[in-house]
Structure 1
Amino acid sequence: MTRVVSLFLPRWPTDRLRRKSGDASPPADAPLVMAGRTGRRRLITALDINAESLGVRIGMAVTKAQALVPGLIIADSDPAAETEGLTKLAFWALQRISPVVAADPPDGLVIDTTGADHLHGGEEAMLSDMIKRFAVSGVEARASVADTWGAAHAAARFLARPAIIVPPGEAEAMLQVLPLQALRLDSGTVTGLHTLGFETVGELLAQPRAPLTLRFGPELGRRLDQALGLVSEPVDPVRSPELVEVRKAFAEPIGAAETIARYIARLADALCHEMERRGLGARRLDLLFHRVDNSMQFIRIGTGQPIRDPKRLVRLFRDKIETVDPGFGIEIMELVAIMTEPLRDKQTISSLVEEPEADVSDLIDILSNRVGQNRLCRFVPVQSDVPERSVARISPLAPETGLTWEGDWPRPPRLLARPEPVETMALLPDHPPVWFTWRGVRRRVRRADGPERVRGEWWKRDAELTAVRDYFRVEDETGERYWIFRSGDGEHEDSGSQRWFIHGIFG
């Protein structure tokens, strides 16, 4: 089922102006409005949260707003620049979220995320990440996802929540209580419907279509059908002449998986040839399928490093062919490299002494595209005596950091996400425990080694100035070995809670 995200930027004109102005931007707490002309009148067209809290409203005359708010900062509205800015945001979303993205002037984006949400941890995580990224950039954003563009557009603008997920099949129930403006109708149609006593979308849905169409034209019925998914509303994705892309139009629509795979190979060959000519390698690619019913399907793959090997690309795409629904047939296929990096050919040097390094990048690419790039990582050492801080996650193909774990004391191969408390008894403060109870099971200690004292990193936090941990390696009667520690030195209260914890398990 199709899933569409509508990203709403309620204060885009003023947010864009502040970002563009940089250091010359008005103070963050200063009221800022944008003004434009309607005939001879100069009216407020956009405003920030500061101006709104002081009583300024969109459509208010500039002279009235100035009288209401002394010191009001007024800038000229620039719709063309605002639309251009939305297009740039669409290119950003094209690379990071989905291959089907378009600007939705005057205040948002529309993104077809069908089949792409799992790459971002699900719809909730995807919307949350988008909103956070815009907030960091100083742009207020709200986002919603629904079965149709119209439903997502309405939810983002008329439901007062930052992120809204409309479950599949529930668009009509959501639309019932929304005002007529949620249908993206022109102001004249909305005014006419209000005159007849209509206030909500649900009231329109309960009425016969013919009289409404006769009075207001076909646009009203079309918007209703688009919001309900009865009429398709495809997203025309943004494209840049700088993108490397190839396409194939078919005289007769295709639909068989074998046929699709054959043409993927041809497109991959053509794309790699073009990238070789430009000295580029692909990091992220989109394969788009234009169906005869004017809808679109797509496959997105990513690679850990720039490549232009047709066989590798074909292998990654073939793994996802089963996710494509050809419908009544595919009439156009497009292969686009939306993220590229410079790539030079490497010369293979033969050696009779050294074995060539194993290349696992192909395996990593396959796994990344199956389970999500964010779910793959490798661990590297970090210079820290505190065990949970001595390791970090990096990309599987990131270069080596050159660091190693130092010290003579062994570390367990399995470190718990956080230390878990245990019940135990030790005969003396510097002795290992005689027994301990962890997760409901009591274990008697047969052998032990320690203590290894780890002190807090006082240069990071004052609370760790006197913090101490005493670690022991212990073995129970069954031969299982554990890494446990006491928080504190067993004597001084300011060194820790004196409680015992388990932190790791030895293989």
Structure 2
Amino acid sequence: MVNRRVLSLWFPRLGAERLIRSEPDLWGRPFAVLRDTGQMQVVASVSQAASREGVHVDQPHRDAQAMCPGLLTRLQNRQAEAAFLGTLRRWAVQFSPWVAEEAPASLMLDITGCAHLFGGEQGVIETVQEGCERLGLTVLAGVADTAGAAWALARFSGRGDMLMHRSGDAIDQEAPATRVRAARRRHWTKGGAAPQIGVTGQPASTIAPVGQTRTALADIPVAGLRIDAETQAHLARLGLRKIADLANQPRATVARRFGKGLILRLDQALGSVPEPIAPAREVQNFAVRMTLPEPIGLRDDIEAGMVRLLDRLCVMLEERGKVARQVRLQAFRVDQGSEWIEVGLARASSVVDRIRPLLSMKLDEIDAGFGIDMLRLEAVQVEAALQRPMAGRFDAEQSVAKRLNGSEALDDLIGRVGARVGLERITRLHPADSHLPEKTAKVMAAAWAAPYGQDWPAPATPRPTLIWRPEPVTAPDSAYPPGQFRWRGRDLHLAMATGPERITPEWWLDDPEWRSGVRDYWRVTCREGDCLHMYYAHGGAMSAGWFCQGSFA
């Protein structure tokens, strides 16, 4: 039986080093990334230079600025950091095909059967560290039989001076006048404050031998079990500061006091409960680009480049059995600016002649500025192409005629109109299974819904052509249509009434419009020419009376 081996990679300075890579002026200077909590700004990530000055994660910005006056700061961009972690995940595939992201700054690799390709597990870690050093990233690694154990080893084991203590344990960082008092404080294993994770030196790594997970985790703090800070504090008050202390306690007692979540984390780390690694699904990018030898600015030149890119993009989609639903054209200017346009298709397609007119309609929105030196065309949203059966000549001719005169022509029209007003504004109706007049049809987006392919179901009584929210009618309180009534500021006289059709509310739904109770619907024809859809509400949560809800003409 092959022993499972998991490698955990932690990037403790991911947020700061991501910005340092893009802004070389920050290299070697105290730098921190700030997170806004609503009440104040706290440090979310620090550089090595800032760590040497005493700045640490979760420290308030004002305290960090007082400790390091020359501290440079930037606000945190969680989306950009998540995207950068995704890039690192794709980079880590060279070490194992099974790579998963662990928010906020960690990767989990299943290296079972892969370590021998790099000279063993230590060789894998050294190769990872060399690659990260070239990328300008700090990485901490841990290898164990389980994902939970590898996670804990990467953060807590083998750190040595890399653990910063907010108590007086790290007295080398305190002023000489306070060292005597600090020395009297108890160590965290004997009741002192729990250690805080920080990085102040070079990366380190720890490997737990096969089958020795419990021994490797014995001296690691309970924070290595991936539990919340409140649970850690409760365990510390009871003197349970190391994983070994917790593992030796009666399970029933621990579960009764702290819940099953703590026991689950402990079992996952020790291997009693499996914890699968779910790698992120690889996202396929369908994009082509063109770098121009000379900047262009004329609309005809941009369209010519767009057509060449569209030919290549459609070929790429057809080769992979995909069709585009949404397409984006990006134009990069010589002044480092960019412009882009985006179009959607009512029916996903990989045909050039169906996409090109939509893009051409929006080319005037691109501001070329001092010139465009690169064009990029991307299929932002793609779908699987439907498989078409083989057909003879007659069937092919019928298919062409259908495309020219049928649904595909309508889809092209919807796409053209949607390019100007928005696809979400073009709707179509489908019948709905409801006896309420206002719910006999449901509104659907025309671009993402096929036409109703059957005959529209006919109700037992005709429904009005126009329908609106019920409007009060001034009339005598009687269950039969009044001979004279007032509606919308007009006095109307009854000529003919057809009905009633009694409809009760849907008892399983609490619709505010139907709190008037049972309704008797009438088709009322007036002498003035109006043909109205009126009803008498018998009263429920609302008072009884006459209302007008629609018109038949």
Normalized against structure 2, the TM-score is what? 0.47
1:306 maps to which of 336, 345, 348: 348
Contact 1:286 1:335 in 2 (8 A): yes
**Corresponding residue number in structure 1 for 2:464:** 412
Partner of 1:365: 415
What is the CA deviation profile of residues 228-276 of structure 1, one whole-angstrom value per residue up to 9, with x for unaligned ones? xxxxxxxxxxxx9831111222222222222222222222111101111
Alignment deviations for residues 90-145 of structure 1 (CA, whole Å, 9 cap, x no partner): 9xxxxxxxxxxxxxxx99xxxxxxxxxxxxxxxxxxxxxxxxxxxxxxxxxxxxxx
Aligned twin of 1:476: 526
Q: What's the counterpart of residue 162 of structure 2?
A: none
Residue 424 of structure 1: SS of its match in structure 2? coil
For residue 473 of structure 2, what is the amino acid of its counterpart? V
Aligned mate of 1:85, from 82, 103, 108 = 82
Contact 2:493 2:528 in 1 (8 A): no
1:498 is aligned to 544
CA distance in 1, matches of 2:449, 2:494: 42
Once residues 284 and 407 of structure 2 are traced to their aligned partners in structure 1, the CA distance between those partners, rounded to angstroms, is 34
How far apart are 1:88 and its partner, in Å? 7.7
Out of 441, 445, 448, the residue aligned to residue 497 of structure 2 is: 448
Q: Secondary structure at the match of 2:442?
A: strand
Q: 1:440 to 1:250 in 2, by over 3 A?
A: same
In the alignment, structure 2 segments of 5+ residues that lack a partner are: 1-33, 65-75, 88-103, 106-281
Alignment-derived partner of residue 385 in structure 1: 435
Question: Are 1:284 and 1:302, in contact at CA under 8 Å, matched by a contact in 2?
Answer: yes
- 8 Å CA contact 1:301–1:316 kept in 2: the answer is yes
Cα pair distance change 1:402/1:433, threshold 3 Å: farther
- Distance in 1, matches of 2:428 and 2:319, equals 34
> Take 2:35 and 2:525, find their aligned partners in 1: how far apart are those partners?
59
| SS at structure 1 position matched to 2:293 | strand
Deviation at 1:346, TM superposition (A): 3.0
Gaps of 5+ in 1: 1-7, 13-32, 47-56, 62-78, 91-105, 108-239
Q: 1:315 aligns with which of 357, 368, 386?
A: 357
CA distance in 1, matches of 2:449, 2:521: 32
Residues 430 and 451, structure 1, Cα contact 8 Å, conserved in 2 = no
Q: Deviations over 1:367-420 (max 9, x none)?
A: 22211122122122222222223332222142467895453100112111x212
Contact 1:455 1:466 (C-alpha < 8 Å) held by counterparts: no
Deviations along 1:47-73, one digit per CA (max 9) or x if unpaired, are: xxxxxxxxxx56879xxxxxxxxxxxx
Match of 1:423 among 474, 486, 493: 474
**Partner residue of 2:328 out of 286, 293, 296:** 286
Q: Which is higher, the Rg of structure 1 or of structure 2?
A: 2
CA distance in 2, matches of 1:84, 1:246: 25
Q: How does 1:55-454 map to 2 (within 5 A)?
A: 57=60, 84-87=81-84, 242-344=284-386, 346-347=388-389, 350=394, 356=402, 357-359=406-408, 360-396=410-446, 397-399=448-450, 405=457, 407-416=459-468, 418-425=469-476, 429-454=478-503
Q: Is the 8 A contact 1:44 1:58 kept in 2?
A: no
Q: 1:163-219 CA deviation, whole Å, 9 max, x = no partner?
A: xxxxxxxxxxxxxxxxxxxxxxxxxxxxxxxxxxxxxxxxxxxxxxxxxxxxxxxxx
CA distance in 2, matches of 1:260, 1:45: 49
CA deviations 1:474-505 (Å, max 9, x no partner) are 122243311111221xxxx5485222221111
**Which secondary structure does the structure 2 equivalent of 1:287 belong to?**
strand
Instruction: State the distance in 2 between where 1:368 and 1:319 align.
Output: 11
Distance 1:353 1:433 in 2: 58
Show CA shifts across 1:307-337 (max 9, x none): 1110111100111122122222222111111
Instruction: Output the amino acid matched with 2:438.
Output: E
Partner Cα distance (1:250, 1:35) in 2 = 40
Compute the displacement of 1:436 (Å). Answer: 3.0
Distance of 2:516 and 2:304 partners within structure 1: 67
Sort the Cα spacing of 1:376 and 1:462 in 2 relative to 1 into closer, same or farther, 3 A: closer
Q: Which amino acid aligns with 2:522?
A: F
Task: Answer whether contact 1:298 1:324 (CA < 8 A) is retained.
Answer: yes
User: 2:79 and 2:359 mapped to 1: Cα distance?
Assistant: 37
CA RMSD of aligned residues (A): 4.0
User: Judging changes above 3 Å, is the alpha-carbon distance between structure 1 residues 402 and 271 closer, same or farther for their aligned structure 2 residues?
Assistant: closer
